[in-house]
């Protein structure tokens, strides 16, 4: 395999040279490396470091992190090199493992980093890790049971199968996530909440619970950082954040119904048309504003190629209202036959009329609010 040296953050890593085939796609190379995911990894290093500081490490105890699906190892190599915690880099591909070992040797981080050549599910069933990171091809669903069992403090998960998560490939989404998504204007937030709902149910099997610290939907993927809590009572409490979204496609009215045994109205209370039912999904918070600030501070203090972009996105995450689901201003304007205003103008007017309102990291033309669709339409029509 031909390799080249690249630097991300403070870490120089050998990665495969893209090969002809599938338009030089990263997946066509013998070992996977996708430069487009640099921001995902920059945030990973910053968020992991922020979390480790929260743990107030005892110098006598080692904090363990596993990059269960490592490929070139770039993610875990950066964690080891840039945060100093003990890291296991695992991949079932022999070529990937050879490259990982070469990278560990070149970086001289063998004191806190080991390469592992196992099926990720076997490794995660064999060992507990303080921090478990899943960054698979497509869906993380096949690894969630083992990860839920292994993780002690922090679970980090990427999903790149946005089409099944967001309802564009409905049956595939139902098979992987045992839930029904809507492929509508807020499909990106739908994907986040379907994924979190699936993870919550997997954790509850282990009498564990999650506290979402940071979750973002960026380009073609979703990424989440979940603090772990232990015990059946915590799991019961967590599951109270599960529920459904009832949505009327005719008038845009929507309602969040909490609980797994909710009563659902078949017809929309606003226009009488047939409601759609999506879920079960996570309706609880998806970020902790304090953790977003701590991660931003880490990014500010570090070398990373996507610093400005990452900080801008995390500021939107930090400041967005904790209310499912966002509203798309352009869609509402189209229906009303009016032109769209600057998103800040809409938000300010909602606030002037006594509602909560914020921007959202999911979309630059959208907003979150506690106003209902009737009030939103009046306000937008008045602008
Ligand atoms: N985390 C990497 C990064 O940031 O560049 C990318 C990982 S790549 C998307 C997924 C990797 O998972 C591939 O290298 C593949 O060989 C590995 N893989 C897939 N299934 C696996 C399994 N069951 N056990 C271990 N490795 C697996």
Tens of pLDDT, residues 294-343? 999 999 999 999 999 999 999 999 999 999 999 999 999 999 999 999 99
Q: From ligand 1's centre to the CA of 70, what distance in Å?
A: 5
Q: From ligand 1's centre to the CA of 192, what distance in Å?
A: 21
Indicate if ligand 1 lies below 6 Å from the C-beta of 50: no
Sheet strands side by side (includes 327-328):
327-328, 363-369, 357-360
Tens of pLDDT, residues 166-201? 999 999 999 999 999 999 999 999 999 999 999 999
ipTM summary value: 0.99
Question: Would you state the pLDDT for residue 24?
Answer: 64
Maximum Cα–Cα distance across the chain: 67
Tens of pLDDT, residues 132-161? 999 999 999 999 999 999 999 999 999 999
Indicate if ligand 1 lies below 6 Å from the C-beta of 119: yes
Tens of pLDDT, residues 42-70? 999 999 999 999 997 678 889 999 999 99
Indicate if ligand 1 lies below 6 Å from the C-beta of 129: no
- Give all domains of the chain, ordered by start, each with its CATH number: 3-317 (3.40.50.150), 327-382 (3.30.56.70)
Tens of pLDDT, residues 204-260? 999 999 999 999 999 899 999 999 999 999 999 999 999 999 999 999 999 999 998
Report which of 52, 230, 239 is spatially closest to residue 152, judged by C-alpha positions.
230
Q: From ligand 1's centre to the CA of 201, what distance in Å?
A: 24
Question: Would you state the pLDDT for residue 22?
Answer: 61
Ligand 1 atom 5: the closest Cα is on which residue?
33
Is 70 exceeded by the pLDDT of residue 362? Answer: yes
Three-state SS letters, 44-64: HHHHHHHHHHHCCCCCCCCCE
Q: What is the mean pLDDT of the chain?
A: 96
* 75 within 8 A of 97, measured Cβ to Cβ: no
């Amino acid at each position: 395999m031909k390799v080249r040296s690249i630097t991300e953050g403070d870490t120089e890593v050998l990665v495969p040279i893209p090969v002809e085939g599938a338009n030089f796609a990263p997946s066509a190379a013998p070992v996977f490396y996708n430069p487009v995911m640099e921001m995902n990894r920059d945030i990973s290093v910053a968020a992991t470091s922020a979390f480790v500081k929260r743990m107030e490490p005892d110098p006598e105890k080692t904090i363990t992190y596993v990059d269960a699906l490592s490929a070139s190892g770039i993610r875990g190599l950066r964690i080891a090199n840039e945060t100093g915690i003990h890291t296991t880099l695992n991949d079932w591909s022999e070529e990937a493992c050879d490259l990982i070992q070469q990278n560990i040797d070149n970086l001289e981080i063998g004191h806190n980093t080991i390469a592992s050549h196992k099926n990720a599910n076997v490794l995660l069933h064999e060992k507990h890790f303080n921090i478990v990171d899943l960054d698979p091809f497509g869906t993380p669903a096949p690894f969630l049971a083992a990860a839920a069992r292994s993780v002690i403090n922090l679970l980090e998960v990427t999903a790149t199968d946005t089409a099944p998560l967001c309802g564009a490939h409905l049956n595939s989404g139902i098979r992987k996530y045992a839930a029904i998504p809507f492929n509508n204007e807020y499909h990106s937030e739908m994907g986040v909440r379907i994924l979190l709902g699936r993870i919550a149910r997997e954790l509850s099997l282990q009498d564990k619970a999650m506290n979402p610290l940071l979750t973002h939907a960026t380009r073609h993927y979703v990424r989440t950082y979940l603090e772990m809590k232990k015990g059946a009572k915590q799991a019961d409490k967590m599951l109270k954040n599960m529920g459904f979204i009832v949505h009327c496609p005719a008038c845009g009215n929507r309602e969040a119904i909490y609980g797994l045994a909710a009563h659902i109205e078949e017809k929309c209370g606003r226009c009488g048309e047939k409601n759609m039912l999506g879920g079960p999904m996570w309706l609880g918070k998806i970020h902790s504003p304090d953790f977003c600030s701590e991660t931003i501070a880490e990014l500010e203090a570090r070398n990373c190629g996507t610093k400005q972009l990452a900080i801008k996105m995390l500021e939107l995450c930090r400041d967005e209202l904790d209310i499912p689901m966002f509203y798309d201003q352009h869609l509402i304007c189209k229906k009303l036959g009016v032109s769209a205003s600057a998103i800040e103008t809409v938000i300010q007017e909602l606030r002037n009329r006594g509602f909560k309102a914020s921007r959202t990291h999911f979309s630059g033309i959208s907003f979150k609010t506690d106003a209902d669709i009737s009030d939103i339409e009046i306000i937008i029509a008045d602008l």
